[in-house]
Amino acid sequence: MADPTLFDISQRGKRCTRMPAPEKGAEELIPAQHLRAQAPGLPEVSEPEIARHYATLAAQNFNVDGHFYPLGSCTMKYNPKVNEALAADPGWARLHPATPEEHVQGALRLMHQLEAWLCAILGMDAVSLQPPAGAAGEFTSLRVFRAWHDSQGNTQRTRVIVPDTAHGTNPASVARCGWTVTVLESGDDGRVSPEALADALDDDVAALMLTNPNTLGLFEAQVLQIAEMVHDAGALMYCDGANMNALLGHGRPGEMGFDAVQVNLHKTFSTPHGGGGPGSGPIGVTAELEPFLPVPRLVEQDGRLAWDWDRPESIGKVQSWFGNFLVAVRAWAYIRACGADGLAQVARDAVLAANYIRASLEDVYDLPYPGACMHECVLSARTIAEETGVRAADIAKRLLDHGIHPPTMYFPLIVDEALMIEPAETETKAALDRFIEVMREIAREAAADPEILHDAPHSTPVRRVDEVKAARNPILRWQGR
């Protein structure tokens, strides 16, 4: 039987707190047409009951503090708790964005330093912290590209080339910018093929959007040649930098020939992402594009920081106030604590962990693109599916029975039965070994007893859900018993 809801345990007259009766009746305070005819049917419970109800629900949740979570920086890597504590400090958290600049020099200094550090990490000349997510960073950068092209009289450039492995936000950002997408098919090695790119380039192309390492976890080793081709064709190079976890301290988009890049602070730089926000997608650009960045820009004069709104070439405002400030606080603290050497170590450990998993599983699962990977490895259950009927989704559900969160599945779209595994830098070797052992065990089960996988998970509070029905007929409200 399902756990009782708050409505089930409700008893008339129970309360957590008692509010003093208002001095005036509701009729005097609220116009009659806005008053309910009947009191709402809210559950009536005591404080311990409500506390236990939510604690029980929370305990049923899969979470990164309790379980191995191979979704990685892309979705939910483990983040140091100290950065949460710092961001929650009332000195930051209760700051009002309209506070006069002279009273918030410390907060402005933090943002200014973070901009400078991100410039150094990305190899770019200027950074804006304003975009509130990775997709918003893509969109803002494309608007900057468009303003630059307009300033050059290149108004015929309306096409953006996007590889078929790209995250779905890339084509969406292009469309929001009023441009059209040309999809570039990946080469046999899972990377951009310079020959295919040459065919796609023309004088109506505004930019190439490239994710490096790409979403197959592969480094685009020909990026310098690609950048030269794109620039020779009069277009700009955009780097989707959401996979920065792999590059920290080892490779800089600015040195790879990119003109702009976004970085997802809520992925690599210590803000939890799985809950759905808030995020932050700062963008870095070359000096040539700097005048077009969103307003306001943070400027320093005589040791004082101030917002500069007077920037005639700017694309304007892209976010209320100055971006998601508390995400910037976590990123500042993370970078400060790691230092340059520590950040390089983060990338080394993340890449090593992914390759350890790849090398330990490639004899049991398909590896569609052989060879070393970066921060994530993309395996495939294609052969297992053909031989046993067990699909990637069944494997993912079975992992839950072993207390492991499923990896990203069925992405990138060009890999059948894809299992994209990103352990990130924080997992111990023991945790990785256990994951490998469970994945091998599941592959054995697929051959011996596929039903157990089709019916998984067996041990979770909610068993296999009908995902199609849940999407088509969502019941999001208590409907009585």
Binding site for ligand PLP (CB under 6 A): 74, 133-135, 167, 169, 211, 215, 240, 242-243, 264, 279, 281
Strands of 418-421's sheet in order across? 377-380, 418-421, 408-409
User: How far apart are alpha carbons 90 and 94 in whole angstroms?
Assistant: 5
Are the CB atoms for 257 and 277 separated by under 8 Å? no
CB of 373 to ligand PLP, least distance (A): 15
CB of 417 to ligand PLP, least distance (A): 20
Which amino acid type is present at position 217?
Answer: G
Helix/strand number for the chain, H first, E second: 17, 12
Q: Give me 149's structure tokens.
A: 């092209």
CB of 277 to ligand PLP, least distance (A): 9
CB of 169 to ligand PLP, least distance (A): 4
Query: What does each C-alpha distance from 50 to 4, 303, 459 come to in angstroms?
Result: 12, 52, 25
Residue nearest to ligand PLP (CB): 134
Q: Which of 381, 376, 413 is nearest to 219 (CA)?
A: 376
How much is the CA Rg of the chain, to the nearest whole Å?
Answer: 26
CB of 174 to ligand PLP, least distance (A): 13
User: How far apart are alpha carbons 139 and 48 in whole angstroms?
Assistant: 47
The 3-state DSSP class for residue 239 equals strand
**Residue (134 or 254) nearer to ligand PLP, CB:** 134
**Residue (140 or 264) nearer to ligand PLP, CB:** 264
The 3-state DSSP class for residue 161 equals strand
CB of 381 to ligand PLP, least distance (A): 22
**Residue (240 or 290) nearer to ligand PLP, CB:** 240
**Residue (291 or 369) nearer to ligand PLP, CB:** 369
User: How far apart are alpha carbons 92 and 365 in whole angstroms?
Assistant: 47
CB of 463 to ligand PLP, least distance (A): 29
**Residue (169 or 388) nearer to ligand PLP, CB:** 169
**Residue (72 or 291) nearer to ligand PLP, CB:** 72
**Residue (143 or 397) nearer to ligand PLP, CB:** 143
